[in-house]
A and B are shown apart, each in its own frame.
Chain A
Amino acid sequence: MADVVLSNVNKVFGTFTAVDGLNLDIRQGEFVSLLGPSGCGKTTTLRMLAGLEFPSGGEIRIGDRMVNDLAPGQRDIAMVFQSYALYPHMSVGQNIAYPLKKRGVAKAERTAMVAKTAEMLQLTPLLNRKPRELSGGQQQRVALGRALVRDPKVFLLDEPLSNLDAKLRGYMRAELIELHQRLGRTMVYVTHDQLEAMTMSDRIAVMESGKLQQFAPPQVVYREPANRFVASFIGTPGMNIVDGELLQENGRWIFQSQGFSVDAPNLGPDAQSGAAAMGIRPEGLSIGTGPIEGVVQLVEQTGHENIVVARVGDGLRMTGRTNPDQPVRAGETIKLSIDANKAHFFAEGATGKRLNKAAATSDGPAKSQSALKEATS
């Protein structure tokens, strides 16, 4: 059952279109991330869901209600702000109790609900403190508590972890996943961090320049990016993308670029001869033997693997991964080969469509652990 639906939603600021014809269909209990570079319209979308910004066009439904004309307080949503937005003059307990108070929950019941929420978030010893006496991580928890306490239909979270240090962020990520599983509530999570989106979401909505690029589970976004933008945005180190040309030779597709060519065995019906791009993830590139020659520019040691950046032809940079035991040094000339079955091909342009045959991957919300590992390692 669809819980949150955006149909053709636009948002125009003056002459600038921040969100452009957005269609999203979020299921009940789903964890959906809005992912994209800064300025792509994620926050604007979330604020329209919250009722803090009004759409210039289109329709927003939450549950079975059209909410376009409903005030934020009537939408049965809760929001966690990037800056937490805790009420500075109220204690932690008062902050968490505030949404209940404004909804007329009786004092005794309020106290019990606050105590329960505080317990869940380990805030009980802090209930009488003021927000300014808390660390960033604790403030973050209070902001979560204020959202959780009244059990809304939908949770909206705007980059809630971006102000925390790396270690705490990893910890809170796990906490949020657990919380989502426990509550089973719909969550819409805004982030520019693909690692967060990949690890936490049932589905990811990748956005760019106000437009939806792809809306699919993490492993689909990773393995079958809908277009060149999604391919380049997801994954660290990022996908190698090479401009070139698709040719048909004796009934076989070949991709030709400066200095090398590869087979394109699994192109779909949309493929056309002419300018195109090929993408290959670092793990699809083998270093040691192969037809392509490159000069190593940089070797990054992460401990369990080395990331090798090599220059191929004039100015093309290719990133690959090697075992740390394999001796590769900067300045060395190495051989590379591309695993044609792992290559992606895209039509011309920054958001050129993917041309590969569709794989038979299910579109379900289940998370594939192997895809997560690939993305996060």
Chain B
Amino acid sequence: MRHIMAKQQQTLLERRYSMLGLFLIAPTVLVFCAVIVYPLISAVYLSLFKIFTPTLEGSWVGLDNYRVLLSKGEFWTSLRANLIWTVGTLSLQIIFGVGMALVLHQNIWFRSLARSLILFPYFISTVVAVLVWKWLFNDLYGILNHLMITAGLIDWPIDYLGSMPNAMISVILVGAWKYFPFVVIAVLARLQSIPDQLYEAAKIDGAGPIARFFDITLPQLREVLVVIIMLRAIWDFKEFDLIFLLTGGGPVTSTQTLPLLVYKEAFALNQMGMASAYAVIMMLIMLGFMLVYIRRTRSEES
């Protein structure tokens, strides 16, 4: 009898705890719904209409927007540009970021100064950074062309942003320059937490500097690199301002990534429904990437 009573009391207490849990989590869930779930659902909803942006008046077209979009060449060229940009800039960010982190991890006397300087590109606003780069890249009076001509490397100024593949390369390089500090900081933090004794044990086991990098440093960095690549891939895939300000998607549409295409549909062509359809497709692509990526890293773990 007492036994049963005790059991009941316990479940009551447990129930009270779970009520408290719900109560505490409710504000977060509400805010999440307001700022994430509602826009998401309305984007999907809008993509089923043909909408004129200035008046926001529209008519139901069902899946027509998607049908048009997938058969249009512009979507596929934009997707291609988007992938080239993401893979290109992300690879450079990782290579330069890890390399710089390894350099800064060494005991060099200006390390603390270098560490704060390295953050500079990440901190300045994109508009300012792009303006500076546009001046550097300018084909008529840019310092880059001037220096290269003076050094005798080229005879004629190069059009960095107005021709292909120069424009894509320039965008990728500026993107790498702007965002590699993020990689540096994250990798450096991890490097500092690798125990020295692992390296000492490896030295005694006969591993040289290169073997120590591949057998200890890299495996130790693996987890942080997984997170960095995931975050940066998402951010780079939907990068808008840097590309828009640097080339505006040009020449013609050769650097027009999907976010720029969404913008063009919504505000230049006034097709809000179509723009929403693009946005939804973009989201699905990223979701697909993330699922594959998470699945792969998880299977490697076990």
Contact = CB atoms under 8 A, between A and B. Distances in A.
Q: Do A and B bind each other?
A: yes
Interface of A: 50-52, 71-73, 77-79, 81, 83, 85-89, 98-99, 102-103, 146
A83 B200 CA distance: 12
Contact of A78 (B195, B204, B215, B219): B204
B216 to A, nearest CB: 7
Given A87-B216, A89-B219, A102-B211, A81 B206 contact: no
A85 B211 contact: no
Contacts of A89: 219-220, 222
Given A83-B197, A89-B220, A72 B204 contact: yes
Contacts, number: 59
B215 A87 contact: yes
Contacts of B201: 79, 81, 85-87, 146
A106 to B, nearest CB: 15
Contacts of A73: 203-208
Given A87-B216, A89-B220, A146 B197 contact: no
Interface in B187-231: 195, 197-198, 200-208, 211, 215-216, 219-220, 222
Nearest to B223: A89
A85 B200 CA distance: 9
A73 B197 CA distance: 15
Query: Sorted from nearest, which 3 A-B pairs have the closest CB atoms?
Result: A73-B206, A102-B206, A99-B205
Given A52-B204, A72-B200, 20 more contacts: A50-B200, A50-B204, A52-B203, A72-B203, A72-B204, A73-B205, A73-B206, A73-B208, A79-B200, A81-B197, A81-B200, A83-B195, A85-B197, A85-B200, A87-B201, A87-B202, A87-B215, A87-B216, A88-B220, A99-B204
A85 B205 CA distance: 12
Contacts of A77: 204
A77 B216 CA distance: 21
A35 to B, nearest CB: 22
A79 B204 contact: yes
Contacts of B195: 83, 85
12 contacts: A52-B200, A72-B200, A72-B204, A81-B200, A81-B201, A87-B201, A98-B215, A102-B205, A102-B207, A102-B211, A146-B201, A146-B205
A86 B216 CA distance: 11
A52 B197 CA distance: 10
A323 B40 CA distance: 84
Contacts of B205: 73, 98-99, 102, 146
Contacts of B222: 89
A210 to B, nearest CB: 21
Contact of A71 (B203, B216, B220): B203
A71 B202 CA distance: 12
Nearest to B197: A85
Nearest to B194: A88
Interface in B135-183: none
A121 to B, nearest CB: 17
Contacts of A52: 200, 203-204
Nearest to B211: A102
Given A87-B216, A89-B219, A89-B220, A103 B197 contact: no
B204 to A, nearest CB: 5
A51 B197 CA distance: 13
A71 B211 CA distance: 15
A51 B205 CA distance: 12
Contacts of A103: 206
Nearest to B200: A52
B45 to A, nearest CB: 47
A52 B219 CA distance: 23
Contacts of A88: 198, 220
Contacts of A79: 200-201, 204
Contacts of A50: 200, 204
A81 B202 CA distance: 12
B240 to A, nearest CB: 38
A90 to B, nearest CB: 8
